[in-house]
Structure 1
Amino acid sequence: MHIICGLGNPGEEYEHTRHNAGFDSVDALAEELRVNYWKNECGALTAKTTYKGEDLLLVKPQGFMNTSGGPLKKVCQAYSATADDVIVIHDELDIDPGTIRVKHGGGLAGHNGLKSIADKLQTKDWTRIRVGIGRPPGRMSVVDWVLGRPKKDGWDDFVQGTHLASEAALFYLESGLEKTQQRFN
């Protein structure tokens, strides 16, 4: 069982904000795989599917970003999964909009969702697909930027990034980390 977990905040007010790049990526993946049934379990929305014979569980934790680790840990326990089975898709300030980066392990870059996951899984060693959202312009606060919705050209970049992330998740399952990094980084 592979778990693909998109990070975001629940609720209409957060839909399609930069901070919900993980949710939007998992939604794009669900659309690609024709998943339309979501179940509420372990504090997350989950959807089971398969891809090329592999069992997949799509996950969107329903607590706020900084508590994402609790639901993900419960899902891992319920499905006897480990951090090695997990791919986390999240927003990243230090990557240009419309692009992604894939890595395994590493730092948390001040991302509260990643901090929560590292705390609850007791490791930083899981695969991450980082969706670029860029830095806020001028003196805009980071909080206002990440909780804002992209406008016009920024929207196209945002959608491109989330679709690349969903594509990279499937490619990773087929080809592994190194080839995925070569193709997407």
Structure 2
Amino acid sequence: MFQMIVIVGLGNPGRQYTGTRHNVGFEVIDLLSDRNQIPVNKIKFKALVGEGFIGNQKVLLVKPQTYMNLSGHSLLEIVNFYKLDPKQIIVVYDDIDIETGKLRIRTKGSAGTHNGMRSIIYEIQTDDFPRVRIGIGKPKFGNLADYVLGRIVKEERELIDITVRDAAEAVEVFIKEGIQTAMNQYNK
């Protein structure tokens, strides 16, 4: 296994973004933090970070504080500091192209419509890193930015909470048993 795995949850810093669809990546990091007793409370690399273990694997949990569209700035600092292979990175983020409540784990891929992922791919110059995509669905009408930055409505909250829990479990399975096992269990 790798010396360290970096798990990056995408979101926007600040209380006004808590509970929004765009911040489900942060919610997964918070859950991993709780489940594995890894406090995410140090400010480093333009991010809130916490170092610890999931199973026997050393991990760095990361919540970039650069705002979504500049997430790559934070991750590039981490990649350069630890001299990471892209396969040592797992990015967890919301995806409007996946229906609410579904998860997709991939070994690599394009950014799609996600600006945080575009920033990461641009900054680290590759799309060849694993990711866990959390479905938030598309708005039936209205502005996309308003939708992703909107609070998760009560009717969706329970489903999103289950999906966030599944995403955290999928990351743990990925780290302990490999990406193929995680994909088999969670790509439904």
2:69 to 61, 66, 91: 66
Which moved further from structure 2: 49-58 or 32-41? 32-41
Task: Give, in whole Å, the separation in 2 of the partners of 1:167 and 1:49.
Answer: 16
* Pick aligned residue for 2:171 from 169, 173, 184: 169
Kept in 2: contact 1:99–1:164 (CA 8 A): no
Partners of 2:41 and 2:84 in 1: how far apart?
Answer: 19
Pick from 111, 121, 124: which aligns with 1:121? 124
Secondary structure of the 2:98 match is coil
Give the TM-score normalised by structure 1: 0.96
Match of 1:158 among 154, 157, 160: 160
On the 8 A contact 2:47/2:74 being kept in 1, the answer is yes
Q: Once the 2 structures are TM-superposed, how far is the Cα of residue 79 of structure 1 from its aligned partner?
A: 2.2
After TM superposition, where is structure 1 displaced by more than 4 Å over at least 4 residues in a row? none
After TM superposition, the structure 1 stretch with the greater mean CA deviation from structure 2, 3-12 or 159-168, is: 159-168
Aligned CA RMSD, in angstroms, stands at 1.0
Are 2:100 and 1:97 aligned? yes
- CA separation in 1, counterparts of 2:30 and 2:61? 9
For 1:108-147, what per-residue CA distance to the aligned partner results, in whole angstroms no more than 9, with x for missing partners? 112111111001111000000001100112x221111100
Distance 2:84 2:29 in 1: 19
Instruction: Give 1:35 deviation, angstroms.
Output: 2.1
Aligned to 2:137: 134
The SS at the match of 1:76 is helix
Please report how far the alpha carbon of residue 17 of structure 1 lies from its aligned counterpart in structure 2 after TM superposition: 0.4
Runs of 5+ in structure 2 lacking a partner? none
Segments of 5+ residues of structure 1 without an aligned counterpart are: none
**Residue in 2 aligned with 1:75?**
78
CA distance in 2, matches of 1:42, 1:12: 21
Aligned amino acid, residue 161 of structure 1: T
- How far apart are residue 37 of structure 1 and its match? 4.7
The answer to whether 1:106 aligns with 2:106 is: no
Amino acid at match of 2:7: I
Partner of 2:181 in structure 1? 179
Identity of aligned residues (%): 35
AA at the equivalent of 1:81? L
Q: Structure 2 CA distance, aligned partners of 1:51 and 1:105? A: 22
1: distance between equivalents of 2:12 and 2:125? Answer: 22
Return the TM-score normalized by structure 2: 0.94
Match of 1:144 in 2: 146
The number of aligned residues is: 184
Match of 2:45 in 1: 42
Q: CA deviation at 1:66?
A: 0.7
Distance in 2, matches of 1:49 and 1:91, equals: 24
Which residue number in structure 2 is paired with residue 86 of structure 1?
89
Contact 1:49 1:56 in 2 (8 A): yes
Letter in 1 for 2:166: L
Any conservation in 1 of the 2:57–2:176 contact (CA below 8 Å)? no
